Amino acid sequence: MPQGTCPECKATVHVDEDADKGDTIECDECGAVLRLVGLDPIELDLESDYEDDEEDDDDYDDDDYDDDDDGRDRYY
């Protein structure tokens, strides 16, 4: 069974043979939720690092975008 290292507590984390990039795994030692970011070698990152990025993507929506005709498009 493939294994990686928890970035939070440095414990060995076993990864299912059929796991794919982007899957989430829980560390049995510390309970951290991890994202599988590499398969060869196995690389794990904290899922919370990605949740912050996804929240940042929601910071701007169409209502925040200036699309007037002055030729300068920008977010507010």
Tens of pLDDT along 32-47?
999 999 999 999 999 9
Q: Measured between alpha carbons, how far is 59 from 14 in angstroms, rounded to an integer?
A: 35
Q: Quote the pLDDT of residue 63.
A: 53
| pLDDT digit string, tens, across residues 7-41 | 999 999 999 999 999 999 999 999 999 999 999 99
Higher pLDDT, 23 or 55: 23
pLDDT value of residue 50: 78
User: DSSP characters for the chain?
Assistant: --EEE-TTT--EEE--TT--TT-EEE-TTT--EEEEEEETTEEEEEHHHHHHHHHHHTT--GGGEE--TTS--EE-
Q: What is the mean pLDDT of residues 44-69?
A: 64
